Each structure stands twice: as C-alpha cells, then as structure tokens.
C-alpha cells in the first residue's frame, strides 16, 4: 500500500507492506469537503464524514496518509453503513 507524505494525491506515496503482526496506529483524519464528526459511547468510537477522506496512520513506525477503500481495508477500517 502507499503512504502519502501529505493528504494530497499530488505527492508520490511511499510503499509499505502491512502484515498480520504489523503495528498500526491511527493518528488523524481529514476530508476535503467537510469536517470529520466523531461519535463516542461506552462501546465504540465512530466517525461520519462526507467527501474525500484521508487517514493518517503509522505502520511499523512509518507515518503517512491513506485515502482509498483498499488501503482502509488493509489497515482494518472497512466501509460501514
């Protein structure tokens, strides 16, 4: 998968491999159209967004931005709803 240095398709992504033992940290979320809205209760945290979503992650110590559903699936963030 490709990790972009900025939340912008104009940059070249750095290729990283996600494996079952990989440590994945979720750092930040942005969209190009509207803010990200966070919902939290005792059982879960969820986000609602509209627009082109970018998620900043750290995978085995390497930070970058992802924004395709394929990349979200690779880091354990499947499309819901």
Taking residues 22-45, report their average pLDDT.
82
| 18, 41, 66, 68 from 73: Cα distances, Å | 11, 24, 11, 9
How much of the chain exceeds pLDDT 70, in percent?
89
* Cα-Cα-Cα-Cα dihedral sign, residues 36, 45, 21, 58: positive
In a domain, 12, yes or no: yes
Taking residues 40-52, report their average pLDDT.
77
Query: Distance between CA 57 and CA 62 in Å, rounded?
Result: 8
Domain count, the chain: 1
pLDDT for 52 equals 79
In a domain, 80, yes or no: no
In a domain, 26, yes or no: yes
Query: Distance between CA 36 and CA 31 in Å, rounded?
Result: 7
Taking 60 as the threshold, does the pLDDT of residue 81 lie above it? no
Residue ranges of the alpha helices (H) in the chain?
Answer: 69-74
């Amino acid at each position: 998968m490709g990790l972009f240095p900025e939340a912008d398709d104009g940059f070249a992504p750095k290729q990283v491999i996600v494996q079952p033992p990989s440590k994945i940290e979720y750092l930040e979320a942005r969209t190009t159209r509207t803010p990200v809205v966070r919902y939290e209760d005792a059982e879960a945290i969820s986000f609602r967004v509209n627009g082109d979503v970018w998620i900043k992650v750290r995978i085995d110590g390497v930070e970058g931005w992802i924004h395709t559903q394929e990349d979200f699936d690779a880091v354990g963030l499947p499309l819901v709803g």
